[in-house]
DNA sequence: AACATTTTAGG
DNA sequence: CTAAAATGT
């Protein structure tokens, strides 16, 4: 099918090497490379400042490498990628479009729609896997169902009957299509107020595919060997630093996999077991990235709803003061505060410290996890919706194989584990720099004379603990008790068919958002005890908007606006509800809930956007739209069967993935 | 050296 | 919680 020219639509695959869509375009003849900047499509998840900075650099580098090959990158500013693509097609006379798959819920729906529209316009559309070792629908258990635990998934990935595709070389030359009627538009990725902070980033980071290659090579020949040993230190120096490169697809994960695997074979032959083990651990973290896409594909709501339903009944503490103290690194727990200061200053955090600060956020402060996830999204250089959603769900105990729900980590002990000499804390909390190591992770226990000698006045230049750990533990127990009670009550109500749902209060009273979400590190008066009266909310929390002006004109947002927005985005996204009939046989040995579930699904169906079911080629999974580029064969289960989770043993009835379309919706 | 006890890691 | 590893007797 040679002839007309092809569009290659770049998204998060900003590389020329091992880029199947680009390769296909080159094979087909003339190529027009396009990047469309349409951040409004991302809804809540407008990229943060550092992420946009990275994208800008990366696009510039991609453009220059495309120029070396014979074309350039056409950039378009848009609010609707699909219509922009149509315009590009129209102005260039292209007849084909090639792109690489994405797996976040918004992309799944948009790309599916795009494929339908373009196909109906006579454009040949082909898409490829460029982001994963295996497509999500390739990795299934012996019964042909998707895995619900990471180990199951990853073991299967590593023992697939066929290897991941080998990385392809970049094209030698690209024949450019006619760009005379398709001018680039200037993309603005930063505003004036952001330029100063962004200038600092360039000192530490080098975006772009060629730099990604260098980072990969440097990691493999350097820190990889000691990865196992160093992985528990707070210090980031021994990590691969590949995550932002991988997020934007500047380096192919298949290339990473192959090169690392080669190194492993080498070490194995030398009898270097430490190196072998290091590779296994590093590959595991690559595997988690794969798994995040896998989960996002199979559970398209996982970035906004807990995968285990009982979390719906967790009484989150909605407290601006807590949230602000956490963001500013003023919780009074040195390891947490150091991490939050580093995040703010650099956009980077070691994986271990991410676990510490997010665990503190959920378990100690009991703030709604999606707020924390949103803050990560706004501040992390490697912000990645799928990975971050998986991470926060893991921390929050909402995955079958996540951390136990009642586990609460003590930052003091973790401090001595990950930062035994206090170097990390001293680097990011200069006010504690003179405190001896003995007290560095629990200054509140230090004798007065020690504090004086170190120039510390607790509650003045460094906060007292925002809440004591024993109080936090008691409060968490209490919250969990309440959660199970509400969960049981709700279930009882459902079984009795009574329509006075407890869990439904969210419908009427959404969480009010803090008005002031500024993230500045100001010297506000310290709130060591932000709340005396604890406000709890029984609902699935919503996300506060912190990207004020950029998303929606900077106006104030009433909670109802946000509720509407949430509803809107919900309507666009595949819904995760209902079991299809093929599941009946498998699930009927669980609890006798089938009729109820089915009734709920039917009620849901009434509320589904009709556009979802209009397309003749759309296929249903979970009742949601499946991209046409995936086989529809996967019969999907909505029930987690985590026998390996202690919680599921204690609360087997709570193991259903909840039907999030309002349990007691009056239909 | 064999076994009991404690600590740690765990996706 | 459980399994494995580290430590102690």
Q: Å between A650 CA and C9 C1'?
A: 38
CA of A232 to C1' of C5 (A): 16
Q: What is the pLDDT of residue A340?
A: 96
- The tally of CA atoms less than 13 A away on the side-chain side of residue A576 is 25
Helices (H), A441-547: 448-454, 469-496, 505-508
Q: Which nucleotide is nearest to A228 (CA to C1')?
A: B9
Residue A646 contacts strand C, CB under 7 A: yes
Distance in Å from B4's C1' to A265's CA comes to 40
Distance A149 CA to B11 C1' (A): 8
Q: Which nucleotide does the CA of A414 lie closest to, via C1'?
A: B8
Question: In this structure, are residues A635 and A146 in contact, taking their beta carbons and an 8 Å threshold?
Answer: no
Return the HEC string of A1-44.
CCCCCEEEEECCCCCCCCCHHHHHHHHHCCEEEEEEECHHHHHH
Single out the residue of A316, A231, A322 nearest to residue A542, CA to CA: A316
- Give every residue of chain A whose pLDDT is below 50, as ranges: 1-2, 500-513, 515-516, 518-532, 539-625, 631-667
End-to-end distance of chain A based on CA atoms, in angstroms? 51
pLDDT of residue A629: 53
Which residue's alpha carbon is at the shortest distance from the C1' of B10? A403
Whole-number pLDDT of residue A455: 97
A170: DSSP letter: P
User: Quick one: CA torsion of A14, A16, A19, A20, rounded to 10 degrees?
Assistant: 130
The gap from C-alpha A418 to its chain's centroid, in whole angstroms, comes to 24
User: Encoding tokens for residue A344?
Assistant: 């703010």
Q: Which residues contact A119 (CB under 8 A, 6 or more apart)?
A: A125
Please name the nucleotide lying closest to A407, CA to C1'. C1
C-alpha A68/C-alpha A61 separation (Å) is: 11
Residue ranges of E strands in A616-656: 619-621, 624-626
Q: In the structure, how far is the CA atom of residue A441 from the C1' atom of nucleotide B4, in angstroms?
A: 33
Report, in ranges, which bases of strand C sit under 7 Å from a protein C-beta.
Answer: 1
pLDDT of residue A182: 94
For residue A649, give the nucleotide whose C1' atom is nearest its CA.
C1
Which 397-436 residues of chain A approach strand C with CB closer than 7 Å?
A: 404
Q: Residue A546's closest CA among A16, A159, A45, A26? A: A45
């Amino acid at each position: 099918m040679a002839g007309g020219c092809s569009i290659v639509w770049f998204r998060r695959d900003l590389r020329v090497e091992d880029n199947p869509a680009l390769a296909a375009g080159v094979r087909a003849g003339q190529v027009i490379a396009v990047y469309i900047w349409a951040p409004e499509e991302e809804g809540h998840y407008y990229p943060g400042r550092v992420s946009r900075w990275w994208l800008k650099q990366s696009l510039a580098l991609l453009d220059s490498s495309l120029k070396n090959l014979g074309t350039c990158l056409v950039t378009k500013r848009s609010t609707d990628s699909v219509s922009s693509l149509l315009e590009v097609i129209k102005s260039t006379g292209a007849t084909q479009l090639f792109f690489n798959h994405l797996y976040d819920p918004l992309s799944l729906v948009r790309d599916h729609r795009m494929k339908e529209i373009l196909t109906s316009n006579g454009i040949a559309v082909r898409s490829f896997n460029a982001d994963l070792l295996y497509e999500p629908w390739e990795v299934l258990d012996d019964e042909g169902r998707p895995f619900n635990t990471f180990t199951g998934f990853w073991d299967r990935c590593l023992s697939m009957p066929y290897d991941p595709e080998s990385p392809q070389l970049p094209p030698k030359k690209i024949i450019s299509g006619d760009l005379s009627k398709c001018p680039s538009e200037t993309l603005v990725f930063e505003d004036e107020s952001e330029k100063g902070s962004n200038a600092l980033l360039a000192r530490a980071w080098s975006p772009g595919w060629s730099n990604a290659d260098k980072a990969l090579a440097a990691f493999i020949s350097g820190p990889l060997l000691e990865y196992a040993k160093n992985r528990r230190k707070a210090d980031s120096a021994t990590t691969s630093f590949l995550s932002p490169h991988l997020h934007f697809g500047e380096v192919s994960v298949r290339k990473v996999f192959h090169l690392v695997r080669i190194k492993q074979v080498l070490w194995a032959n030398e009898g270097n077991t430490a190196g072998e083990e290091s590779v296994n651990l590093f590959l595991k973290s690559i595997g988690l990235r794969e798994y995040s896409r896998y989960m996002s594909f199979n559970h398209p709501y996982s970035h906004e709803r807990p995968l285990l339903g009982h979390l719906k009944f967790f009484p989150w503490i909605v407290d601006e003061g807590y949230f602000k103290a956490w963001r500013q690194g003023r919780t009074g727990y040195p390891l947490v505060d150091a991490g939050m200061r580093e995040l703010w200053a650099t956009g980077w955090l070691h994986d271990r410290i991410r676990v510490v600060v997010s665990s503190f956020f959920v378990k100690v402060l009991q703030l709604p996890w999606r707020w924390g996830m949103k803050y990560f999204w706004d501040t992390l250089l490697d912000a990645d919706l799928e990975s971050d959603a998986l991470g926060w769900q893991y921390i929050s105990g909402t995955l079958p194989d996540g951390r136990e729900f009642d586990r609460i980590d003590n930052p003091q002990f973790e401090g001595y584990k990950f930062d035994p000499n206090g170097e990390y804390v001293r680097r990011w909390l200069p006010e504690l720099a003179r405190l001896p190591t003995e007290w560095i992770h629990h200054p509140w226990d230090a004798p007065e004379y020690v504090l004086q000698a170190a120039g510390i006045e607790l509650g003045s230049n460094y906060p007292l603990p925002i809440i004591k750990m024993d109080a936090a533990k008691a409060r968490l127990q209490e919250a969990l008790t309440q959660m199970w009670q509400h969960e049981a009550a709700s279930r009882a109500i459902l079984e009795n068919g009574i329509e006075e749902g407890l869990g439904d209060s969210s419908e009427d009273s959404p969480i009010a958002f803090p008005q002031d979400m500024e993230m500045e590190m100001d010297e506000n008066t310290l709130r060591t005890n932000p709340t005396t009266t604890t406000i709890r909310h029984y609902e699935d929390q919503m996300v506060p908007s912190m990207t004020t002006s950029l998303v929606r004109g900077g106006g104030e947002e009433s909670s109802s606006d946000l509720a509407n927005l949430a509803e809107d985005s919900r309507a666009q996204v595949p819904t995760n509800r209902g079991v299809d009939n093929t599941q009946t046989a498998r699930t009927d040995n669980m609890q006798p809930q089938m009729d109820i579930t089915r009734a709920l699904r039917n009620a849901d169906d009434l509320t589904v956007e009709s556009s979802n079911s209009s397309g003749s080629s759309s296929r249903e999974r979970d009742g949601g739209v499946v991209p046409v580029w995936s086989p529809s064969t996967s019969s999907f289960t909505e029930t987690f069967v985590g026998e390996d989770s202690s919680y599921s043993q204690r609360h087997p009835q709570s193991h259903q993935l909840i039907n999030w379309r309002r349990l007691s919706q009056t239909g």
